[in-house]
Amino acid sequence: MAGERLISSDGIRHDGRRLDELRPIKMAVGVLKNADGSAYVEQGNTKILAAVYGPRSIHPRHLAYPDRARVRCRYHMAPFSVEVRKSPAPSRREIELSKVIREALSHAIFLEQFPATAIDVFIEVLEADGSTRCVGINAASLALADAGIPMKDLVAACAVGKVEGHLVVDLTDLEDKNGEVDMPFAMMYGRKKITLLQLDGILSYEELCKAVDLAMTACEKIYAMQKEALKQRYLALRKSIEEGGG
């Protein structure tokens, strides 16, 4: 991209989007038969599958928390998810993001209702084109709801970045690598509670306030899509039950 601009003079990004525009998003719930809950999310060219198992017993037992459930999260990038084949072994970045995502999701779960159990969340990145932790959170939140795990609210996430001096939402891999700032953001939108805010780069106070506003607006749109995806899942289940009963 040497010499090429990612944002035109009239504020159009390299993929044709406006500065505050999300990539096309597809969501599907209940896509895996053998998981307690599952979801698939496409956000542009980023494609992620999430599965949830539990609450279930922990082995060995000393790992259990006596007063609440323990959330265990595994974020993993498939070897074929990036241009240059990645080792299937967990990298330091994957271990870090597993912890970050677990903490972002744990705030939304009524963990005290399931003492001495585990809730296992698996996030598999099938194709990576930026914002994988945020898309992973969106998919995992849907999978948790699909598993019937009591939650205070869904968690919606979207990254905001700064590219060529402009604040932009929902970064692609190209924008992430060539931009000045990356700010992953997640929240329980219905409760207006932030569960994740990281900042890689430097923003002024005014830019930070604007970036948070952009992230919250993007999360509102994603939150609505999550609720619609769950609604379609339950309508399909109801139809299946009614047809089976008939």
Can you give the pTM of this predicted structure? Answer: 0.94
Question: Tens of pLDDT along 192-246?
Answer: 999 999 999 999 999 999 999 999 999 999 999 999 999 999 998 888 888 876 4
Q: What are the boundaries of each domain within the chain?
A: 25-239
With pLDDT > 70 as the criterion, what percentage of the chain qualifies?
98
* Tens place of pLDDT per residue across the chain (246 aa): 455 899 998 999 999 999 999 999 999 999 999 999 999 999 999 999 999 999 999 988 899 999 999 999 999 999 999 888 989 898 999 999 999 999 999 999 999 999 999 999 999 999 999 999 999 999 999 999 999 999 999 999 999 999 999 999 999 999 999 999 999 999 999 999 999 999 999 999 999 999 999 999 999 999 999 999 999 999 988 888 888 764
SS percent in the chain: helix, strand, coil, step 5 = 35, 30, 35
CA quadruple 61, 63, 66, 69: dihedral sign: negative
Query: What would the two tokens of residue 132 be?
Result: 């994988």
CA quadruple 26, 221, 199, 102: dihedral sign: negative
Residue 77 β-bridge partners: 125
Domain 25-239 part of CATH 3.30.2290.10:
no
